[in-house]
């Protein structure tokens, strides 16, 4: 049978793509475009404000990372309480996850900022200490960490419950000590099971950090908002912030994708 011209063309195209993988490189173009646009705008479009904006970006990133550490800690504690805890611990953990997931992030942040200061004052007064100021950064970290800790607790618990029971029995049958069994048998599988949920929570968490600017934190959004109002060019400033968050999203997607591919070698 004679092969049609279109089939031949397709075969030729796939040969070219096999020899020189432009296809793969082409997929990178949008991501590179976003990063290039961010760098260009930051260099040429904002006058002397680059240093300020970069400082704000650093605040945003460190806020996100600090919240992630707190959220992971709370998530592990919450999952452990739900799996292994007694009745009281389990109750506390479920109250925590119900409340933290039922309140919007901005409300939680305001609650911590205004209410947390009162609590702190009462506590330091009772202990006879001076007044400590609860900074916007700390309040934001606590609020965001608390919210996403509840999501992570569910993720971790789900991963633990999805662990094949046979693996645990096998580790026990081999006589592995608990710590070793956890490190060599459970942990690799848990990490693999948790990664996609963890990456999800991280990406939502990053977007939540924008809201902390509402309580006056000088993060990227807060600084860009102030500069935009004084130069009357909010559009440009907010476009830069938008591109910055897009870049963060792209980086985290790629990073987590790489981690997930790597953890596939632990596939059971």
Partner 1 sequence: MRFELALQHWEVFASGVWMTLHLTALCLLIGGCIAIPVAFAMLRGGVSGWLATGYVYLFRGTPLLVQLYLVYYGLSQFDFIRETWFWRPPAYLRSACIEDLMGWKVCAADFIPSLRSAWWCALITFSLNSGAYVGEILRGALKNTPKGELEAATALGLTDKQVRRRIHIPSAFRRALPQYGNEVIFMMHGSAIMSVITLQDILGVGRWLRAKYYVPYEGIVASAILYLVITYLLVFAFQLIERRYLRHLNIKAPGAERGWFGRSAV
Binding site for partner 1 (CB under 8 A): 30, 98-99, 101-108, 110-111, 114-115, 117-118, 151, 154-155, 158, 196-197, 199-204, 207-211, 213-214, 221, 225, 228-229, 232-235, 238-239, 241-242, 245-246, 249-250, 253
Instruction: List the structure tokens of 87.
Output: 């009745």
Instruction: List the structure tokens of 7.
Output: 């089939």
User: Closest separation between CB of residue 2 and partner 1, Å?
Assistant: 29
User: Closest separation between CB of residue 97 and partner 1, Å?
Assistant: 9
The residue among 77 and 250 lying less far from partner 1, judged by its C-beta, is 250
The residue among 171 and 210 lying less far from partner 1, judged by its C-beta, is 210
CA-CA distance, 133 to 121, in Å (whole number)? 8
CA-CA distance, 145 to 109, in Å (whole number)? 10
The string of DSSP codes covering 215-228 is: GT--SHHHHHHHHH
User: Closest separation between CB of residue 6 and partner 1, Å?
Assistant: 17
User: Closest separation between CB of residue 133 and partner 1, Å?
Assistant: 14
The residue among 18 and 235 lying less far from partner 1, judged by its C-beta, is 235
User: How far lies 82's CA from each of 76, 211, 238, in Å?
Assistant: 10, 30, 42
The residue among 17 and 180 lying less far from partner 1, judged by its C-beta, is 17
The residue among 110 and 190 lying less far from partner 1, judged by its C-beta, is 110
Q: What number of other Cβ atoms are within 10 A of residue 139's Cβ?
A: 24
User: Closest separation between CB of residue 149 and partner 1, Å?
Assistant: 13
- Over its C-alpha atoms, the chain yields an Rg (Å, rounded) of 24
* Strand blocks (E) in the chain: none
């Amino acid at each position: 049978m004679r092969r049609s011209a279109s089939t031949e063309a397709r075969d030729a195209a796939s040969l070219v793509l096999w020899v020189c993988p432009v296809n793969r490189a082409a997929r990178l173009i949008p991501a590179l475009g976003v990063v290039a646009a961010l760098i260009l705008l930051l260099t040429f479009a904002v006058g002397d404000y680059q240093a300020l904006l970069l400082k704000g970006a650093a605040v945003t990133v460190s806020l996100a990372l600090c919240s992630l550490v707190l959220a992971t800690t709370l998530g592990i504690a919450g999952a452990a309480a739900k799996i292994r805890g007694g009745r009281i611990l389990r109750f506390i953990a479920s109250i925590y996850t119900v409340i933290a997931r039922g309140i919007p992030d901005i409300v939680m942040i305001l609650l911590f900022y205004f209410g947390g200061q009162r609590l702190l004052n009462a506590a330091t007064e009772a202990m006879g200490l001076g007044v400590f100021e609860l900074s916007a950064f700390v309040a934001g970290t606590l609020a965001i960490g608390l919210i996403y800790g509840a999501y992570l607790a569910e993720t971790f618990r789900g991963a633990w419950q999805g662990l094949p029971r046979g693996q645990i029995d096998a580790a026990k049958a081999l006589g592995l000590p608990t710590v070793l069994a956890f490190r060599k048998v459970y942990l690799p599988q848990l990490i693999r099971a948790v990664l996609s949920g963890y990456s999800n929570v991280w990406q939502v968490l990053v977007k939540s950090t924008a809201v902390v600017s509402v309580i006056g934190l000088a993060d990227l959004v807060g600084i860009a908002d102030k500069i935009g109002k004084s130069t009357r060019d909010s559009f440009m400033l907010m476009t830069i912030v938008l591109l910055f968050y897009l870049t963060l999203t792209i980086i985290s997607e790629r990073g987590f994708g790489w981690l997930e591919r790597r953890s596939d070698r632990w596939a059971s």
